[in-house]
A and B are shown apart, each in its own frame.
Chain A
Amino acid sequence: MLAGIGGWVQNFVAGWFAYLGQVALLAGESLASILAGRVRWGLMLQQVAEIGFRSQFVVVITGAFTGAVFTAQAYFQFASLNMETAVGPVVTLAMFRELGPVLTGLMVAGRVGAAMSAEIGTMKVTQQIDALRALAVNPVDYLVVPRAMAMFISMPLLVVECVGLGILASYYVGVEVLNINGVYFLAHMQNFTEGGDIIMSLVKGFVFAGVIVFISCHEGLLAKDGAVGVGRATTATVVNCSLAILVANFFLTMALNILFPAGQR
């Protein structure tokens, strides 16, 4: 019984590492193409519009309501300790360091990653990717590289947007709705927020961009068995991207906290 469970765990871990290896190989091949200058700028701009521009509504709503509800909850706790003005820095730091990048990552994985995987997966099962190869066009150059570059450009900007809207909503709820002193709210917020927090947010956004785009494209390129296979690839994309973002976020937090330690003031 124990041996069976041990074997299953071993297989699961080996499978997971093999999967990560395949995703890393795709990332490596894409990077090599970018360095070799095999970039289709027109396709990249189309993808920036698709990934960056059209994801704004989702990201703005997510950031704003997360900031608003976090502010309300923090206020309810801090008010009993007469620490209402600490709500500003708490929400701001949380938005910059964790909530902004992670929530943006999860929303983009659901909206863009799933669509990317479904589009590439459909191309795979309808032989359009074989047609690309037969026409002497490398599918990684044509499909993955423009999406990867667009994602690396868009994600940090979306994270900034999410955090910005979260802080604005926090200010509105805290100052206008819950009557926290606006001057102290802003002063404490500025006092406790550093450049390192912003850099941490952008670095996480950049890393999550890679996680989303390479997992999504990998799942799409491996799709098989018709419409069922495309559905399976899309589901796997959302699940794997979400898990990878959450796991990577922990290790990024621990690593980046060495460079930009929190709570030093």
Chain B
Amino acid sequence: MMSPLIEVKDLVQRIGGQEILRGLSLSIMPGETLVLLGKSGGGKSVFLRHLIGLMHPISGSIIFEGQEITTLHERALQPIRRKIGMLFQDGALFDSMNVFNNVAFPLRERGEKNIETIREKVARSLAMVNMTGHDSKMPVNLSGGMRKRVALARAIISPPDVILYDEPTAGLDPIVSDSINRLIRRLQSQIRVTSVVVTHDMVSCNHIADRVALLNEGRIHFLGTPAELSDSNDPIIRDFVDGRSGETVY
């Protein structure tokens, strides 16, 4: 049996006195696309930040390729982070740099000096996200969808083993959302990357997920395939899948 690429055990995190994660456990298998669903403010993004060491848990463990990462300090995390790409919710592009320099940033930081190689890789990466010809634009002049695409180009320019997506389709119209979903799917087939996607977009979930996890009250409430999620009669799952708040309108 294949061993998990990332194994999370009993993760606990508290922010501002509120317990966000209450013993979350989850295994992520190599090459799969795992979609993490859950309510807004339920701790999905917080969980994602733990996977790349941007946050340290109060207790619990995260094992990446057999190595415990929750106890590693900032510099010791760098080799792990080189294997993981992250797409932030708003892209988090460097606003002092144009699109080309944003995408080229990881290459330059990893010591690539040859400008022709950099140009070629940036062009290939931008082409993968359908952003060819926008090299000289500044992030402030890009739409939300374009920013996410450029951020994705930056995340994949040095092909990572894992990509973490934080709400990749949030705030985008259905057409742009669909193109982002196709992109995630294409990256999975082209560079065989393991993907963890945090979202509350059910359309996106059904389009890209190999497995789905539902986060509720700081724990994984459900783990299965998208079909199993749709067929479930569990009231918490049904409320989420059918979009019912359970509140009465007077």
Contacts and interface: CB of A to CB of B under 8 A. Distances in A.
Interface of A: 122-123, 126-128, 130-131, 133-138
B109 A134 contact: no
Contact of B92 (A128, A136, A137, A138): A128
B84 A134 contact: yes
B52 interface: yes
Given A127-B92, A128-B94, A134-B88, 13 more contacts: A127-B90, A128-B92, A128-B93, A128-B95, A130-B92, A131-B86, A131-B94, A134-B81, A134-B85, A135-B105, A136-B78, A138-B74, A138-B75
B75, B81, B92 interface centre (most CB from chain A within 10 Å): B92
Interface residues of B, number: 25
A131, A133, A135, A138 interface centre (most CB from chain B within 10 Å): A135
B117 to A, nearest CB: 18
A135 B88 contact: no
A181 B211 CA distance: 90
B106 interface: yes
Interface in B120-177: 154
A121 to B, nearest CB: 13
A123 B82 CA distance: 21
Contacts of A133: 53-54, 74, 81
B107 to A, nearest CB: 10
Contacts of B53: 133
Contacts of B81: 133-136
Contacts of B94: 123, 128, 131
A134 B95 CA distance: 16
B109 A127 contact: no
B109 A126 contact: no
Nearest to B102: A131
Contacts of A130: 49, 54, 88, 92
Contact of B109 (A122, A123, A137): A137
B109 A135 contact: yes
B52 A134 contact: yes
A135 B90 contact: no
A11 to B, nearest CB: 21
Given A134-B52, A135-B105, A127 B88 contact: yes
A128 B84 CA distance: 17
Interface string B53-92: 1100000000000000000001101110110111011101
Contacts of A128: 92-95
Contacts of A138: 74-75, 78
Contacts of A137: 109
A131 B88 contact: yes
